[in-house]
Amino acid sequence: DLWRRKYGRYICALSSKSLLGRFNVISLDRPNFRVITMHMYNPYVTDEALMAFLARYAEVLTPARYVRDRVGLWTGKRQFQVLLRTEENGLEGVMHPPAQFNIGADKGYLFYSRQPPFCRRCRRYGHNDGGCEEPRCLQCALLGHTAKECSAPKSCHSCGSLDHLMRDCKKGRKQGGVRPVFFSDH
């Protein structure tokens, strides 16, 4: 980003001079463009479920590309080209997806270039979990209390119902690929 600031100042200075002053200088850089690599511990999570998760934070530009090793075997990772959504209060002015996440009961993580440090404890960007002291509930995902102290009722991660949990859900993934409607950042 330091290079971009210096380069931008240099172009602005040149554009005010006579030679480049005749042209409109447009930056072709897309600072919110990223190639996100996602890894799910369950390889049977569909590409559509991953794209629906990413759509909360970014505009997905391409379908999944399966990352393969030298021999040609799939590593379990998928890559998506995205444009991160802009957010005034976000780091670098964009909305970053969480580095670790759940889709239903399936855990996964993602990484990309220029990804800010991510705290696994409070689930926020900008610092690592080493010095974080903010408690976060693993049941309702709210800050300020732990799951032991949580008063919110448990719900199904597949359909959102309060009547049962995901393992007992009739609409669950065992019944033919119904996509989870609840995504969690914990």
Count of CB atoms within 10 A of residue 17's CB? Answer: 8
Taking the CA atoms of 64, 38, 106 and 72 in sequence, report the sign of the dihedral they define. Answer: positive
Interatomic CA distance for residues 140 and 186, integer angstroms: 9
Measure the N-to-C terminal CA separation of the chain; round to a whole number of Å: 30
Q: Which numeric CATH code is attached to 31-134? A: 3.30.70.330
Q: CA–CA separation, 179 vs 103, rounded Å?
A: 9
pTM: 0.60
The tens digit of pLDDT for each residue in 130-152 reads 878 887 777 777 778 888 898 88
pLDDT digits (tens, 9 = 90+) for 96-117: 998 989 988 899 999 999 888 8
User: How confident is the model at residue 18, as a pLDDT?
Assistant: 56
Residue 24 pairs with which residues in a beta bridge?
A: none
- CA dist 115 to 9, 30, 97, 110, 174, Å? 25, 15, 9, 10, 34
* DSSP category for residue 90: S
Q: Which residues of the chain fall below pLDDT 50?
A: 174-182
Domains of the chain: which residue ranges?
Answer: 1-29, 31-134
